[in-house]
Structure 1
Amino acid sequence: MTQSPLALVSHPLCPFVQRAAIVLLEKSVSFDRIDIDLTAKPEWFLAISPTGKVPLLKIPQESGPDAVLFESMVICEYLEETQEGVKLYSADPLERARQRAWIEFGTATLTDAWLFLNAKDAATAAIKHAAFREKLERLEGVLEHGPYFGGAAFSMVDAVFSPVFRYFDILKPDVSTSLFDGVNRVSAWKSALMKRASVMSSVGDDYPERFRKHLRDHGALLGA
């Protein structure tokens, strides 16, 4: 009897879902994607999600109900440990710890980017623009040979940063120019990530318009 595939409970715009989807795609793991409306969360979802957030990973069990994991990096690390295919963490303990540290930095970078993108007034936008730009400058100082964060191989760090950079390929070019001007290594890294098959396939074709609509609906300056 063929076992059911893993199921990723998600929302079309969630950057944390994208992390898990990228890892699944990199490892060529078959999975179902179940999108929910986070403004009207279904009861079945609330019953299995302690935080009420996506992503969730449902893992079929031979007997009994599915096992459920929550929190994006918990899911990503479970997939790294249990699934075949390319390894996204280094085998070296020190380098692996370094990767995990930059993943934490990636989450902080996502927060700054999100607050900038959703700013509703010029003063807030300027503060968050500066905070995000500072993160990019820090990254510029640690990137070396490329095309990815650690060199030739795509890693978990790349999976984490890809959803952050995706936003800026959707917005008007002048927004990206003001942020990425002069950080040439980061810009090249961003370009390489946006061409990666797993990154492109981790969202639907309608993602750009969904995101623009989100900005408009939330009254963000960038949605005008």
Structure 2
Amino acid sequence: MISLRFQPCTAGVLSASVSRAGFIKRCDSTKPGRTVRRIGTMAMAASPLEICVKESITTPNKLGDCPFCQRVLLTMEEKHVPYDMKMVDLSNKPEWFLKISQEGKVPVVKFDEKWVPDSDVITQALEDKFPEPPLATPPEKASVGSKIFSTFIGFLKSKDSGDGTEQVFLDELSTFNDHIKENGPFINGEKISAADLSLAPKLYHMKIALGHYKNWSVPDSLSFVISYMENVFSRESFVNTQAQTEDVIAGWRPKVMG
């Protein structure tokens, strides 16, 4: 039995829908508010999965900055699963969406007429329903890099340069650097896995937010972290699903300024 819980992103008004699967062949705009991307030949016979995601707060009809939404989209992209992306405005939650998600949170995906929340649950369901290519991470590696995001947030919000939050964050990056050095180029070796798809959007937020608000970047000494980020960020799946820089900056502003 699947336990349903939400990841911390909230949602609102339908503004656009995008169908995707696998590798892009062409992209056409069919009518206002809807962009249909026709991709490859794999999985196109299947009905696209409906997914509600955060809409950009800076550009209408663009994907927003929720890393948990990107995690699910990355999984669909890597598995070449077609999807129908419903962009929703977090600041204006309509009744139709609150019926899907009583807490008004995204992502949510429709599986067999049932809306399922929580990126952990969704990505596991995708792995079960679409086993090829396999993305499961071995249990002993599943938590690699898992503390980077929380320590990044602590450092980002810190107003005191001497409070130790930067060092705690750097310690986590250093541990990750050592792992990739010994096991890379990905967390589970030669092939990308679910752990990478979970961590990569968070590293993307880390890079943009710390660069903007603290003029900080990953030290050159952590060369394997740098190469890992370059490797993952350059994948077609990531480019297709990444948030705009201005959205990431705007999304973290309340935590930094508050």
Q: Report the TM-score when normalising by structure 2.
A: 0.68
The residue identity in structure 2 corresponding to 1:97 is P
Alpha carbons 2:148, 2:169 under 8 Å: kept: yes
Q: Shift of the alpha carbon at 1:180?
A: 3.3
For 2:78, the equivalent position in structure 1 comes to 26
For 1:35, the equivalent position in structure 2 comes to 87
For residues 237 and 225 of structure 2, what CA distance do their matches in structure 1 show?
Answer: 19
For residues 131 and 54 of structure 1, what CA distance do their matches in structure 2 show?
Answer: 30
Matched, 1:99 2:141: yes
Q: 1:137 aligns with which of 163, 174, 180?
A: 174
For residues 192 and 152 of structure 1, what CA distance do their matches in structure 2 show?
Answer: 12
For residues 165 and 215 of structure 1, what CA distance do their matches in structure 2 show?
Answer: 14
Distance 1:83 1:3, change over 3 A: closer
Unaligned runs of 5+ in 2: 1-44, 55-63
CA deviation vs aligned residue, 1:185-213 (integer Å, no higher than 9, x gap): 22211111111111121125xx1111223
Matched, 1:159 2:197: yes
For 2:37, the equivalent position in structure 1 comes to none
CA deviation vs aligned residue, 1:143-190 (integer Å, no higher than 9, x gap): 2242211221011111011112212443359411xx434222222111
Unaligned runs of 5+ in 1: 91-95
For 2:101, the equivalent position in structure 1 comes to 49
CA deviation vs aligned residue, 1:20-52 (integer Å, no higher than 9, x gap): 010000001110111222232222222222543
For 1:191, the equivalent position in structure 2 comes to 230
For residues 145 and 54 of structure 1, what CA distance do their matches in structure 2 show?
Answer: 33
Q: 1:67 aligns with which of 98, 114, 117?
A: 114
For residues 191 and 252 of structure 2, what CA distance do their matches in structure 1 show?
Answer: 34
For 2:136, the equivalent position in structure 1 comes to 89
Q: 1:109 aligns with which of 145, 148, 151?
A: 148
Higher strand share: 2
For residues 95 and 163 of structure 2, what CA distance do their matches in structure 1 show?
Answer: 40
Distance 1:215 1:21, change over 3 A: same
Q: Report the TM-score when normalising by structure 1.
A: 0.78
For 1:7, the equivalent position in structure 2 comes to 50
For residues 69 and 203 of structure 2, what CA distance do their matches in structure 1 show?
Answer: 15
For 2:127, the equivalent position in structure 1 comes to 80
Task: Return 194-203 or 49-58, whichever deviates more.
Answer: 49-58
